[in-house]
Amino acid sequence: MAHGFSVEAFQARLGTRYVGRRFSYYEHIPSTQDAARQEAEQGAAEGTTILAVQQTAGRGRLGRQWVSPPGANLYFSVVLRPAAEHLRKLGMIWPMAICQAVGEVTGLSAQVKWPNDVLVGPRKLAGVLVDSEFSGARVDYAIVGIGLNVNFDISAHEEIREIATSISAELGREVAREELLATLLNRFEDLYEAARRGQPVHLGWKAHLDILGRPIRVKYREGVEQGIAEDVEPDGTLILRRHDGSHVRIEAGEVTLKG
Ligand code: BTN
């Protein structure tokens, strides 16, 4: 497998106005999230994208590690400068864009596990990490980091092989990361611009959610809530109906499906 990533092949397929137009590429780096933050602090334009072939300290949500071996996958972070009202939408738009791009390039049907994991069947294909920095009430910048398992032999990684998957594992063949990344950034920019024009992005995201109407368990704040995932609000908040009929609104948490 070629470890390199062809920037030319990627750029040839990129159809965006600004997302991915400023592009930095590293063979290896601790985390693209930190590199993107540094660029944002120095005034990098919206859409600036940092890609690494390998991360030596890739991180996921909730302080977890993100397994980032060389060459097989996509690890990248994008600098965005949304208005505060659009910040929470990033956690819906990115997983939607991933589902659309994966569908378009591979034909695989991916779903969103609330709030923003992307799954194929029961296994995780991609994760989204949103970090943000404010100046008072204004968003200075957001850094969105995406890890997407593409041509990854999960069976070699015992710690995640039961819970994770990759495109090649699902498809039985490898796909070009360049085409996938360009398609994903194309889809993202369309959805992001639609959100900025005031279109309700949560409806498309909701259509990809796999939990609605199903019994779930959510680790939330210091405790655990159980019940039926009844609905989601336009900002992504989950409405859970407990077994006693009462409702609880959950803004962020870790969901497990219960059958
Ligand atoms: C999750 O826990 O689901 C989010 C995973 C985010 C991983 C990506 S890989 C590129 C970027 N750099 C990091 O260190 N993390 C994000």
Query: Which residues, at least 6 apart from 67, have a Cβ–Cβ distance to it below 8 Å?
Result: 58, 157, 159, 160, 164
Provide the 3-class DSSP secondary structure of residue 107: coil
Q: List the chain residues with pLDDT less than 70.
A: 1-3, 259
CA of 31 to the centre of ligand 1 (A): 8
The minimum-distance atom of ligand 1 relative to the CA of 59 is 14
> Which pLDDT score is estimated for 220?
87
Mutation to probe ligand 1, out of 5, 62, 66 (largest number of atoms < 8 A from CB): 66
Q: pLDDT by residue (tens digit) across 139-180?
A: 999 999 999 999 999 988 898 999 999 999 999 999 999 999
8 A C-beta contact, residue 23 and residue 77 = no
As for ligand 1, residues whose beta carbon falls within 6 Å of it are 31-33, 55, 58-61, 64, 66, 75-77, 117, 127-129, 145-147
> Which pLDDT score is estimated for 3?
65
Give the predicted TM-score (pTM) of the model. Answer: 0.96
